[in-house]
Amino acid sequence: MQIIEQVSTIRQTVQELRCKGKRIGLVPTMGALHEGHLQLLRTSVQENDITICSIFVNPTQFNNPDDYKLYPRMLEQDIALLKTVGCDYLFAPTAQEVYPQQQYLQFSFGKLEAVMEGEHRPGHFNGVATIVGKLFNFVQPHKAYFGQKDLQQVAIVRQLVHGLSFDLELVCYPIIREEDGLAMSSRNKRLNEKQRMLAPNLYKALQLAQSQLQAKPLQQIKEEVAAFLEPLEEVELEYFEFADSYTMQPVQSLQEGQELALCIAAYVGPVRLIDNLIVNLNES
């Protein structure tokens, strides 16, 4: 596996690969890799000639400076994992490489960034769109792979791809979970032992809501989810929402054939975690 830090080098490398007719898959990450990332990488290796993983803790998407400062960074461990799945290139630039000048560009995603993550993390999706747009320009992938855990982010990137006419296929891979149901996340590494035991309750809350979809009004289910989590020490619910899985807009009532996203965000101790379940109402 070749490690590249310079934007100019990744551009030249990609140009040479494309001239040889190679199909390129990109897996953008912020490092602290886990099995969820590795599944994305394995899929890319299977579907493309060349797989590039980017590792860059992007400062522009953190609305909380402490969150950025404490985000886990473990590059040597990540490199070892990348080698096990057959990744061809690691693109690991510095902030100066990615942002050589002050950023003034602003993206607007309308209603999509006014709910859930967009509402609770002002500026977050502008930072996401900025870095993803840059990576797409640097790497020029044929396919780009993202995880379903960041479902609203996938919707933002989908709109970015369509709006700026990026010539690539966006692949959204299902959530990979620990044995106790906790959605795999780099942030899980920040949980202490007690918090790690509490964290799977987010998934249990989603399962509780799913089990009651046909029996109770959505507002009542929301209240019961809040009541389920409220007694848990160190768990603070930020939001629980029913949304259209494509537009991410809130849903007030169920419709036959609808693909519904059950979305949750909560703090477990100081660590903010998100999770979701997608339910096809033909099957529920």
Annotated ligand binding at 255? The verdict is no
Question: What does R_g of the chain's alpha carbons equal in angstroms?
Answer: 19
Q: Is residue 33 part of an annotated ligand binding site?
A: yes
- Evaluate whether 128 touches 146 at the Cβ level (below 8 Å): no
Q: Is 216 labelled a binding residue? A: no
Q: What pLDDT, on the 0 to 100 scale, is given for residue 284?
A: 42
Residue 184 annotated in ligand binding: yes
The distance of Cα 66 from the centroid of its chain, to the nearest Å, equals 19
| 252 has a pLDDT exceeding 50 | yes
Q: What is the pLDDT of residues 190-216, one digit of tens each?
A: 999 999 999 999 999 999 999 999 899
Q: Cα–Cα distance between 41 and 276 in angstroms, integer?
A: 22
Identify the CATH class of 2-173: alpha beta
Residue type at 10 in one-letter notation? I
Taking the model in full, what pTM does it have? 0.95
- Residue 212: which residues within 8 A CB-CB, separation 6 or more? 221, 224
Sign of the C-alpha dihedral, residues 233, 184, 208, 124?
positive
In which band, very low, low, confident or very high, does the pLDDT at 283 lie, cut at 50, 70 and 90? Answer: low
- Give the residue among 244, 246, 282, 247 at the shortest CA–CA distance from 262: 244
* 37 belongs to the catalytic site: yes
192-203 residues labelled b (16+ CB within 10 A) or e (exposed): eeebbebbbbbb
Give ranges for CATH 3.30.1300.10 in the chain. 186-280
For domain 186-280, give the CATH superfamily.
Answer: Pantoate-beta-alanine ligase, C-terminal domain (3.30.1300.10)
**CATH 3.40.50.620 intervals, the chain:** 2-173
**Is 30 labelled a binding residue?**
yes
The length of the chain in residues reads 284
Set 37, 120, 124, 142: catalytic member: 37
